[in-house]
A = this chain, B = another copy of it.
Amino acid sequence: MALIVQKYGGTSVGSVERIKSVAERVARFYREGHQLVVVVSAMSGETNRLVALTQAFSESPNPREVDQVISTGEQVTIGLLAIALEVIGVPAVSFTGWQVPIRTDRVYTKARIESIARERLEAVLQGGKVAIVAGFQGIDADGNVTTLGRGGSDTTAVALAAALGADECQIYTDVDGVYTTDPRVVPEARRLERITFEEMLEMASMGSKVLQIRSVEFAGKYRVRLRVLSSFDEEGKGTLITVEEEAMEQPVISGIAFNRDEAKVTLVGVPDRPGIAYRILGPVAEGNVDVDMIVQNVGHDGTTDFSFTVSKGDLKKTLTILEGVKEELGARAVLGDKGVCKVSVVGVGMRSHPGVAAKMFRTLADEGINIQMISTSEIKISVVIEEKYLELAVRALHRAFGLDAPEV
């Protein structure tokens, strides 16, 4: 008998029929003797409908009232799932965020969880019932309703699992796990049985978005066993996201991530002196542009080239900002290039296996792909290449690092 927190997203509870099938799955775990806390999102489309209603009055509606309105989506789902469970003989009690209560800070529309009271939930579990909790929402110290931002239900589930000391937190979604890379690019991509939190973070930030990043960070911090599964697949084991020591034999590379939405910006011939990075990126940040990779080469002649990437949609704005400060910076030129993408190899194994970078670069060279920028972290090596080579690069790397092979 285990204590399991399950989370079902909007698609999984998107209709009466789907709620019934979630109830069936919950019932199976219940009948196996497990204690269950089930977190649900709003029915798919419902949060968008509610957000649109609030924006019918103002482009920037009062955020306290936005949260008051949009938190109702999850409240409907918890009641319906409780009803669906009772109908098939499983006693269940639903909880809104304030009924648990899940305490958050006061930042409406993107609040952070501060604490979770266990008493009411534990009483329900000890009474042999399933506890159903509204995801995405909480209550601040003054009794105002708050929401956690898009994808916040994942965070609710992980936080509940941490607070209750659950044996596992299962996130049901419309994919059956985390893959070595995007199967649309590499048909040979395999589902990973395990991945570490750190790898998951690197994969997620690259577009393999199966989980809200905050929930993964949270799970890592509180050592919650997290599993991603498909709510449409009865038998699948999904992917277990776990701490490193739990993984027995670590592959060198767990996956190939990529991001098409990158544009490259280069300042040519900026004076190579302290503070130059800040003087370039300060105005960019003030323009609300998110910068991804940043590369600065060793200079010569007292000048250096400074490159970074932004999303393609931000390129024009970024170039305008930099043209405005070019003279002040003493740069010779500002160049922009939309025709690039980023490809990364990710794996905690590279810490103990030298030569990963060399192998990556040789593989790309063998395919005739030129590398424009390189950036590395402890468990990731990223390169910026011409966008037209993206598929070729991802397939070649997937093969070179042995990810095509059937999983053992």
Contact = CB atoms under 8 A, between A and B. Distances in A.
A76 B98 CA distance: 17
B57 A87 contact: yes
A67 to B, nearest CB: 8
A54 B80 contact: yes
A314 interface: no
Given A79-B65, A99-B143, A143-B99, A57 B84 contact: yes
A68 B82 contact: yes
A105 interface: no
Interface residues of A, number: 38
A66 interface: yes
Nearest to A55: B83
Given A62-B86, A99-B143, A143-B99, A79 B54 contact: yes
A63 to B, nearest CB: 10
A303 interface: no
A35 interface: no
A75 B83 CA distance: 21
A364 to B, nearest CB: 52
Contact of A58 (B53, B62, B86, B144): B86
A50 B66 contact: no
A185 interface: no
Given A58-B83, A87-B57, A94 B72 contact: no
Given A68-B94, A68-B96, A94-B68, A16 B57 contact: yes
A19 B82 CA distance: 32
A16 B20 CA distance: 33
A248 interface: no
B65 A82 contact: yes
A120 B144 CA distance: 12
Contacts of A94: 64-65, 68
Contacts of A72: 72, 75-76
Contacts of A58: 83, 86-87
A61 interface: yes
Interface in A68-102: 68-69, 71-72, 75-76, 78-80, 82-84, 86-87, 93-94, 96, 98-99
Contacts of A298: none
Contact of A65 (B57, B68, B71, B83): B83
Interface string A94-118: 1010110000000000000000000
A98 to B, nearest CB: 7
A358 interface: no
A66 B54 contact: no
Given A16-B57, A20-B57, A58-B83, A69 B65 contact: no
29 contacts: A16-B57, A20-B57, A53-B76, A54-B79, A54-B83, A57-B80, A57-B83, A57-B87, A58-B83, A58-B87, A61-B86, A61-B87, A62-B82, A62-B83, A64-B82, A64-B94, A65-B78, A65-B86, A65-B94, A68-B75, A68-B78, A68-B96, A69-B76, A69-B79, A72-B72, A72-B76, A75-B75, A96-B145, A99-B143
Given A57-B80, A65-B83, 17 more contacts: A16-B53, A16-B56, A54-B79, A57-B83, A58-B86, A58-B87, A65-B78, A65-B79, A67-B79, A68-B78, A68-B79, A68-B82, A68-B96, A69-B75, A72-B72, A75-B75, A96-B145
What are the 10 A-B residue pairs with the smallest beta carbon separation, nearest first?
Answer: A69-B79, A72-B72, A68-B79, A65-B79, A61-B83, A65-B82, A16-B56, A58-B87, A57-B83, A57-B84
